[in-house]
């Protein structure tokens, strides 16, 4: 077979050469050890937690080493493409602190190694396709769907491995005449790799996450170009990651089964193999067993879920770090106030079997992250969230940011800050009572008569002075307690509860309920300071009138 002639027949329009492409995309000038890596998502419009895990791994590896992170859009499957998907992807990843140094942008490309959308690279793939054909390493295959189905049936009946290989590779050694006849008849063809591998042979391979792997050679003549001339993932991966000078491929471990083919392909093309970082799946506990997070069953897989719940970005980032690197939590305890980006991330610390996602733990991390923010930051982030997801509450917060900030400052700062908020969604329940529209009618303990409650509130209004500090304020509540025959001595009460109608805690709760409508509001003196004298008095008076 004259492979040169075959290459000319299949790719008459290719004018560039591998050498000219090498010149067009030269080696990058980067410091020793700099990692060049990428995210290469398909534009399906769905951005999930797995994308974030991979993205953060890639981002940390690139930026921690003074390297480059780029975005390549794998749009080879036009059927799955969703308009606007790149926009959603870029925005979502940026929201979580992943920004790209180069690659696809919303309306074009940024960088010298593009184009970064695979469908725009067809002519580049054809240069290498032509080269492989001219060297006898690839050939056209005209097998029809029916022929391929019959092949699989036969293999299954014979209990053999399925696939297009060895004696089943029906177009592997066909004559030039047969090929020409098919082309003249206008029949569609795919380009297949001519594998020289054998499943009898194994070799060792080092993955940065999985460690030492024993790999069995590939013997399948996989498809390189589909009938529309667009490459499969495998071929595009080899050509793009070579020409874009990728040093590390960070991707999901669902690609491990085809890794033997990728290694073979890089070799056939004369490309240096990058290092591989194969990330295990995200798992969750389902009852007592672990399973992979699923798009269908688990709403928490979608990144939009975290935004809608109101997890601050820092919290999600922080949590992802804890599941990616087992030593992150120790580091965090030793360095409570440093940005998580200062942590030395290592792909070697990733769990090869995949990470366990624990929603309760995320909530806990988030609670801590929020508790450490200052009131201005909380107010800003909460208002942004509310304006998008609870417009009415958002409008109230936005109408008087100073008031909202003062509310959120209660119990903040200091060694033991309050931890009331895990997500922004919790905020309305926590602080809504400050706004009259959300104030609920108090429900007093039935143990106390209406008159008792009324008396306590009336007494309080008589002595209440807005200028009092917290301790004077509390002394007054204690005085009312004693006057009403209740006790301030909790020990004595515990020893003999029947000796008193109630305690200072009961009196405080009555006032608290009158002011806030709730029994579990934050420090009441602080609440009344923020609410203001007039409003505090009015609320108590209002309750007295209703009793």
Interatomic CA distance for residues 140 and 130, integer angstroms: 11
CB 48 within 8 A of CB 303: yes
Least distance in angstroms from the C-beta of 518 to ligand GLU: 48
**3-state DSSP helix/strand/coil % of the chain, to nearest 5:** 50, 10, 35
Q: Which two tokens stand for residue 44?
A: 């399906």
Residue 77 or 384: which CB sits closer to ligand GLU?
77
Q: Is 522 in the site for ligand GLU (CB under 6 A)?
A: no
Q: Which two tokens stand for residue 250?
A: 């960070």
Least distance in angstroms from the C-beta of 40 to ligand GLU: 4
Least distance in angstroms from the C-beta of 242 to ligand GLU: 13
Least distance in angstroms from the C-beta of 41 to ligand GLU: 5
Which residue's CB atom is positioned nearest to ligand GLU? 251
Question: Of the candidates 252, 417, 432, 501, which one interacts with ligand GLU according to CB under 6 A?
Answer: 252
- From the centroid of its chain, how far is CA 8? 47
* CB-count burial class (<10 Å; 0-12, 13-18, 19+) for 262: buried
Angular region, 97: left φ>0, alpha ψ -120 to 50, beta rest = left
**Residues with Cβ within 8 Å of residue 241, at least 6 apart in sequence:** 38, 249, 274
Site for ligand GLU in 303-362 (CB under 6 A): none
Instruction: Specify the residue for token string 């509540």.
Output: 477
Residue 37 or 452: which CB sits closer to ligand GLU?
37
Q: Is 58 in the site for ligand GLU (CB under 6 A)?
A: no
Q: Three-state DSSP class for 97?
A: coil
Task: Build a one-symbol-per-residue string for 157-176: x at contacts with ligand GLU by CB under 6 A, - elsewhere.
Answer: --------------------
Residue 73 or 530: which CB sits closer to ligand GLU?
73
Q: Is 42 in the site for ligand GLU (CB under 6 A)?
A: yes
Q: Three-state DSSP class for 289?
A: strand
3-state secondary structure 166-210: HHHCCCCCCCHHHHHHHHHCCCCCEEEECCCCCCCCEEEEEECCC
Question: Of the candidates 14, 40, 410, 521, which one interacts with ligand GLU according to CB under 6 A?
Answer: 40
Question: Of the candidates 251, 262, 412, 518, which one interacts with ligand GLU according to CB under 6 A?
Answer: 251
Q: Is 74 in the site for ligand GLU (CB under 6 A)?
A: yes
Residue 277 or 362: which CB sits closer to ligand GLU?
277
Stretch that binds ligand GLU, among 40-48, 323-331, 482-490, 537-545 (CB under 6 A): 40-48
Question: Of the candidates 11, 41, 52, 530, which one interacts with ligand GLU according to CB under 6 A?
Answer: 41
Nearest Cα to Cα of residue 34 among 66, 63, 70, 69:
66
Least distance in angstroms from the C-beta of 328 to ligand GLU: 24
Residue 54 or 134: which CB sits closer to ligand GLU?
54
Residue 116 or 448: which CB sits closer to ligand GLU?
116
Q: Report how many residues bind ligand GLU under the rule CB under 6 A.
A: 8
Stretch that binds ligand GLU, among 35-43, 383-391, 430-438, 454-462 (CB under 6 A): 35-43
Stretch that binds ligand GLU, among 37-45, 153-161, 183-191, 332-340 (CB under 6 A): 37-45
Residue 229 or 252: which CB sits closer to ligand GLU?
252
Least distance in angstroms from the C-beta of 83 to ligand GLU: 18
Residue 303 or 397: which CB sits closer to ligand GLU?
303
Nearest Cα to Cα of residue 400 among 431, 366, 439, 425:
431
Least distance in angstroms from the C-beta of 440 to ligand GLU: 48
**Residues with Cβ within 8 Å of residue 462, at least 6 apart in sequence:** none
Residue 41 or 103: which CB sits closer to ligand GLU?
41
Residue 252 or 411: which CB sits closer to ligand GLU?
252
Q: Which two tokens stand for residue 423?
A: 């997500």
Site for ligand GLU in 228-247 (CB under 6 A): 237
DSSP letters, 343-398, are S---GGGS-TT-EEP-HHHHHHHHHHHHHHS-HHHHHHHHHHHHHHH-HHHHHHHH
Residue 74 or 506: which CB sits closer to ligand GLU?
74
Q: Is 501 in the site for ligand GLU (CB under 6 A)?
A: no
Nearest Cα to Cα of residue 284 among 354, 355, 357, 350:
357
CB 511 within 8 A of CB 453: no
Hey, CA dihedral for 59, 63, 65, 70, is it positive or negative?
A: positive
* Sheet of strand 223-225, all strands in order from the earlier edge strand to the far edge: 138-141, 190-193, 223-225
Binding site for ligand GLU (CB under 6 A): 40-42, 74, 237, 249, 251-252
């Amino acid at each position: 077979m004259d492979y040169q002639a075959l290459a000319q027949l299949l790719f008459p329009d290719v004018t560039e050469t591998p050498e000219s492409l090498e010149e067009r995309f030269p080696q990058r000038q980067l410091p020793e050890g700099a990692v060049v890596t990428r995210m290469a998502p398909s534009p399906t419009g769905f951005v999930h937690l797995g994308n974030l895990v991979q993205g953060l791994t890639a981002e940390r590896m690139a930026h921690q080493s003074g390297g480059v992170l780029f975005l390549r859009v794998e749009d080879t499957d036009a059927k799955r493409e969703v308009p606007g998907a790149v926009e959603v992807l870029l925005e979502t990843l940026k929201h979580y602190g992943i920004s790209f140094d180069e690659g696809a942008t919303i309306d074009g490309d940024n960088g010298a190694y593009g184009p970064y959308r695979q469908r725009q690279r067809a002519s580049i793939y054809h240069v290498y396709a032509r080269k492989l054909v001219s060297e006898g390493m690839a050939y056209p295959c005209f097998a029809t769907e029916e022929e391929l189905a019959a092949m699989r049936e036969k293999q299954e009946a014979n209990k053999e491995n399925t696939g297009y290989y060895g004696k089943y590779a029906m177009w592997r050694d066909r004559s030039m005449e047969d090929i020409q006849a098919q082309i003249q008849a206008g029949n569609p063809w795919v380009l297949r790799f001519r594998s020289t591998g054998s499943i009898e042979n194994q070799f060792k391979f080092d993955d940065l996450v999985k460690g030492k792997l024993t790999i069995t050679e590939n013997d399948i003549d996989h498809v390189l170009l589909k009938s529309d001339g667009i490459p499969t993932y495998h071929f595009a991966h080899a050509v793009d990651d070579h020409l874009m000078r990728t040093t590390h491929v960070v991707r999901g471990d669902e690609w491990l089964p085809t890794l033997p083919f990728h290694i073979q392909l890089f070799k056939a093309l004369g490309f240096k193999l990058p290092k591989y970082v194969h990330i295990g799946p995200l798992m969750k506990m389902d009852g007592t067993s672990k399973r992979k997070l699923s798009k269908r069953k688990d709403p928490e897989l979608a990144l939009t879920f975290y935004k809608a719940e109101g997890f601050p970005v820092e919290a999600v980032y922080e949590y992802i770090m804890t599941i990616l690197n087992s030593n992150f939590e120790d580091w965090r305890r030793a360095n409570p106030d440093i940005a998580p980006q200062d942590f030395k991330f290592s792909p070697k610390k990733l769990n090869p079997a995949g990470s366990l996602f624990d929603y309760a733990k995320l909530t806990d991390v988030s609670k801590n992250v929020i508790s450490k923010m200052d009131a201005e930051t909380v107010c800003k982030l909460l208002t942004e969230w509310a304006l998008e997801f609870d417009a009415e509450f958002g409008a109230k917060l936005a109408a008087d940011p100073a008031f909202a900030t003062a509310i959120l400052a209660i119990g903040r700062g200091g060694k033991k800050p309050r931890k009331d908020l895990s997500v922004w969604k919790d905020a309305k329940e926590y602080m809504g009572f400050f706004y009259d529209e959300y104030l609920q009618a108090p429900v007093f303990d039935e143990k106390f008569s209406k008159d008792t409650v009324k008396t306590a509130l009336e007494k309080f209004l008589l002595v209440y002075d807005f200028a009092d500090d917290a301790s004077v304020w509390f002394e007054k509540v204690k005085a009312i307690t004693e006057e009403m025959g209740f006790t301030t001595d909790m020990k004595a009460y515990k020893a003999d509860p029947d000796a008193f109608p109630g305690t200072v805690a009961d009196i405080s709760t009555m006032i608290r309920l009158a002011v806030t409508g709730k029994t579990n509001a934050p420090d009441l003196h602080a609440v009344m300071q923020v609410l203001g004298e007039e409003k505090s008095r009015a609320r108590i008076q209002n309750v007295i009138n209703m009793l």
